[in-house]
Chain A
């Protein structure tokens, strides 16, 4: 289990000349759940986009399982679940259609599902307890159900690397717990998961590694070593006072 799954070296990203992420380097082994922690605007989403090749990095390179990202994407190996604000919830697709989209990479050019694809879609929907909702138009779902549907799509993709950007934002506790259990099961299969979250309290319960980010990577490694008050206060702008405030706000939120 010592294969490097996500290998980022010296990645710098700038938007209109303004640096959003400076010289980020990160190696994650297969079989890891890594929490990505930082303030809003600290470059979490930028890091995800840089890994996916959606933003051009000024310097550096990204390898997934030793391969460049384009090759990996062609094999559907990386499942990326962005924040859900951009989704057009009125689009005429059903939950089942959305999850089936996770299988397109395995299909012929007409995207005709085979029995294997149908089986995987059903299994994925059952794992998030959404099979009975499969015919619903996606706009008819609650917040937690929407997140579960898109999570099911990531599961159906059967990638070995999952990138989840704020999957717990606005979801109920039951959904969060279900997703965490599924992530732990995936880690046991040797999958690698990078997950950004504001829920600092739950990180220690399922992330064996953390990355602290504030426009550059401040620290990363085993949760027990890196997830310290001192490191967190650096991540959240210097004062412990702000951190406790952030924590109490989180406590109110959940």
Chain B
């Protein structure tokens, strides 16, 4: 009875129902994309893009256009800037990524502090899913549909792009197109994730479920389902827990994701630490 009460109580509030549904949706979308991010080795790129969208969000507010558009322009723009600096100077890529995204992020901070707006910095940094507006919900749904449809339609091409771009090119696939598709989806989902867990933690949404699933499966199809399941579970349970303990929603979601990862790391049937040490023992006997 207590358990039912635990689950039912938050649902008496409309804002909690919205928050749970939006977090679940964002969990699905980010987790699906996270499989590609982890396999392509784009974790740092995800971190960069999610920070770099900040000025876009502020400018979009000033111009009164959807956040997603501003974020999209700056997300893709940051990666173009990274590519440009890397190819024109001798500075190494991780350095370039580090300096570009912090530069964008700092510019966003200045904008927020000087532009008169009702944007609350803490909401951008740490998310505000409990107070999400209806227009933001609609925007999240649109982003979710675009991302999931694109991933479904281009699934095999994107897997091939991540796995073996050389072969993709040699059979005539347009890998520049695939690169920008993945990058665009990353910018869009960064905005979706931003509303739930905030800029600082959004990279976790875009990396952790994929990493957890990667340890649990050797097949991409299984991996993406496991990632989405773990993402939805963390999002929904994280929102519940944050209600009951009156703590940060984004924080609770990401802590749960991390716990799931740690469990997978230890107990995964084939790639977990226990299985590995068992295999080593078996091999040495």
Contact = CB atoms under 8 A, between A and B. Distances in A.
Pairing of A with B: yes
Interface of A: 52, 54, 70, 73-76, 78-80, 82, 86-88, 91-94, 97, 101-102, 104-105, 109-111, 137, 153, 157
Contact of B166 (A54, A74, A78, A110): A54
Contacts of B153: 109-110
Given A93-B220, A110-B156, A111-B157, A88 B170 contact: no
Nearest to B159: A93
Interface of B: 39, 153, 155-157, 159-160, 162-164, 166-167, 169-173, 214, 217-220, 222-223
B157 to A, nearest CB: 7
Contacts of A76: 171-172
B156 A104 contact: yes
A92 B218 contact: yes
For the complex of A and B, list the 6 residue pairs with the smallest distance between their C-beta atoms, beginning with the closest: A73-B172, A111-B156, A74-B172, A137-B218, A105-B171, A80-B170
A102 B171 CA distance: 8
B166 A80 contact: yes
A54 B219 contact: no
A168 B264 CA distance: 38
Contacts of B163: 88, 91, 93, 101
A78 B159 CA distance: 21
B84 to A, nearest CB: 17
Given A73-B170, A73-B171, A73-B172, A92 B223 contact: yes
B172 A91 contact: no
Given A88-B163, A91-B39, A104-B156, A70 B220 contact: no
Contacts, number: 63
A70 B171 CA distance: 9
Contact of B171 (A86, A93, A104): A104
A10 to B, nearest CB: 23
Contacts of B157: 104, 111
Given A92-B219, A104-B156, A157 B171 contact: yes
Nearest to A91: B163
A22 B173 CA distance: 29
A8 to B, nearest CB: 17
Contact of A94 (B171, B214, B219): B219
Contact of A86 (B39, B166, B222, B223): B166
Contacts of B162: 91
Nearest to A72: B172
Contacts of B223: 92
Contacts of A92: 39, 214, 217-220, 222-223
A55 to B, nearest CB: 12
Nearest to B169: A54
11 contacts: A54-B169, A73-B171, A79-B170, A80-B167, A93-B219, A109-B153, A110-B156, A111-B156, A137-B219, A153-B167, A157-B171
B164 A87 contact: yes
Contacts of A97: 220
Nearest to B166: A82
A78 B171 CA distance: 8
B120 to A, nearest CB: 41
B156 to A, nearest CB: 4
Contacts of B170: 52, 73, 78-80
Contacts of A101: 160, 163-164, 167
Given A52-B170, A70-B172, A73-B170, 10 more contacts: A79-B170, A91-B39, A92-B214, A92-B218, A93-B163, A94-B219, A102-B171, A104-B171, A105-B172, A137-B219
A91 B170 CA distance: 20
Nearest to B40: A88
A76 B171 CA distance: 5
Nearest to A153: B167
Contacts of A79: 170
